[in-house]
Amino acid sequence: MSYLDPIKEAKAVSALRDSLATMAGIDGYANDPVLMLDMIEGETSLLEAIDKLLVGIAETQGLEAGARSAAAAIVARAERFAKRAEEARGLIEQALAVAELDKLERPAATLSLVRRAPKVEIAEEAEIPAEFWKPGDPRLDKKALLTALKEGRAVPGAALSNCPPSLTIRTL
């Protein structure tokens, strides 16, 4: 059986229904919906087409659910890979620190332990002197605060962080 466009078939059934209704009126047939449905079904494959569309909807919904499940599994797998890579980075960083190596050249990559600049850690904003606040809306001037702390000034409520070295991996 060749494929029949459901829209075209529906239009054809509508025209057929109108014709049958006219015939029923002319020939004295009672306006019987069961008889009408039986006549339409006998003349077309509309109901089979609708049944096929319903099966198609169920199949498509199943494929959608499977695709969503597969996507969730792939996201979880990607997260596991990212975690594994981060753990490996931590092990390399620890090994370089224990071996007191700041740089190591390997065939696959050059590894470096980079000393990051210390950052401002705010312990208690209320204790920080007014000179480190920007005028207008009270906003902390972290740049001025960092400069003061780097100069060795003691600033109540703030301190410099002790940034550990960070691993840099440069691949070829």
Q: Which has more confidence, 16 or 142?
A: 142
Contact 166, 94 (CB under 8 A): no
Q: Which has more confidence, 152 or 35?
A: 152
> Residue 111: its pLDDT value, please?
94
How does the average pLDDT of the chain come out, rounded? 81
Say whether pLDDT at 64 is over 90: yes
> Residue 99: its pLDDT value, please?
93
Say whether pLDDT at 29 is over 70: no
Q: Collect all residues with Cβ–Cβ distance below 8 Å to 165 and sequence separation of at least 6.
A: 93, 97, 102, 113, 114, 115, 116
**pLDDT tens profile 116-147:** 877 888 888 888 888 888 877 778 888 888 88
- What are the boundaries of each domain within the chain? 6-77, 102-171
> Residue 122: its pLDDT value, please?
84
* pTM for this predicted structure: 0.49
> Residue 74: its pLDDT value, please?
97
Give the containing element (helix H, strand E) for 121: strand 120-122
